[in-house]
Amino acid sequence: MPTHSLKYRRAFVKLSGQALANGKDELYDSEMLDRIAEVLDKCRKAGVELCLMVGGGNIWRGNMGKTMDRTRADHMGMMATCMNALMLEDVLIRHGVPAVAMTAVDMPAFAEPFRQREAVAALEAGKIVIIGGGLGIPYFTTDTAAAVRAAEIEADIVLMAKNIDGIYSADPRKDPDAVKYETITYDKMLEMGLQVIDLSAAAFLRDNALSSYVFALKEPNNIYEVLTGKSIGTEVTK
Ligand code: UDP
């Protein structure tokens, strides 16, 4: 049993679809999925309630449907996130971790419908809850959906696992002088136009005084490090 003290009691974790592919030219990197499952179990055993929102970018994003009707393309994006939610549920259960996938758009033959009270009850019963389908409406991303669901389930923190290890003053791949922030406010982030978190998600999190933490998922154990208070990315506060 891990001995580190926990900084958070109930955490919301946003995983992008790309994280599940881990940069490979395949939909899923099974080794990465195993590592994510192991770390999530370690966090759960340490006593954190975990709710996950998964993206769909490894399969489809609405903005890929250039010639499509946007709403239809977003429907496909939401279905992609549901596939990822089923994949995560499957890998967790295979690892012996109690987990339940819930979808924003009802597909009862495949998963539980997302209902705030059922999600909270599952968390309190020690299950990891994985949400597919974002908010179930087009023109949104799973960053914003994560912010809204995190508020609904009264999470203490939203972990934004990204392909960058924090928020920088400029794009560090283009600007060698870019500096990484240990903490930043949503207002400053918005004012500087730093789009590591979607603007609509950032505004929602600010308005609801919900802190988030941006870090790199490349090493899945980073989830545990953040939950035990290690400073490895950028904390974003009101
Ligand atoms: N999406 C949507 N409504 C939502 C959440 C997601 O329409 O509430 C669609 C949208 O097309 C989005 C896609 O699902 O591009 C996949 O989500 P996202 O782009 O956030 O995935 P990620 O980049 O995190 O893998």
- Which distant-in-sequence residues (6+ apart) come within 8 Å of 194 by Cβ? 167, 168, 169, 184
Nearest to residue 16, comparing CAs of 64, 70, 52? Answer: 52
Which pLDDT score is estimated for 195?
87
From 14, 71, 81, the mutation candidate for ligand 1 (largest count of ligand atoms within 8 A of CB) is: 81
132 has pLDDT over 90: yes
Which pLDDT score is estimated for 4?
66
Question: What spacing in Å lies between the alpha carbon of 233 and ligand 1's midpoint?
Answer: 23
Under the banding of pLDDT at 50, 70 and 90, the label for residue 8 is very high
225 has pLDDT over 80: yes
Pocket-forming residues, ligand 1, beta carbon under 6 Å: 16-18, 55-57, 61-62, 74, 77-78, 80-81, 134-135, 137-138, 140-142, 145
Domains in the chain: ranges and CATH: 3-237 (3.40.1160.10)
pLDDT, tens digit, 9 for 90 and up, residues 173-223: 999 999 999 999 999 999 999 989 999 999 999 999 999 999 999 999 999
Mean pLDDT, the chain, rounded, equals: 96
Which pLDDT score is estimated for 150?
98
Which pLDDT score is estimated for 163?
85
Question: What are residue 121's phi and psi, to 5 degrees?
Answer: -60, -40
Separation CA 87–CA 34 (nearest Å): 11
Average pLDDT over residues 94-123: 98
1 has pLDDT over 70: no
Which pLDDT score is estimated for 69?
98
Nearest to residue 201, comparing CAs of 9, 6, 12, 8? Answer: 12
144 has pLDDT over 80: yes
pLDDT, tens digit, 9 for 90 and up, residues 13-28: 999 999 999 989 999 9
Query: In one letter, which amino acid is 146?
Result: A
Separation CA 222–CA 77 (nearest Å): 27
Q: In whole angstroms, what separates CA 69 from the centre of its chain? A: 27
From 59, 142, 197, the mutation candidate for ligand 1 (largest count of ligand atoms within 8 A of CB) is: 142
What is this structure's pTM?
0.96
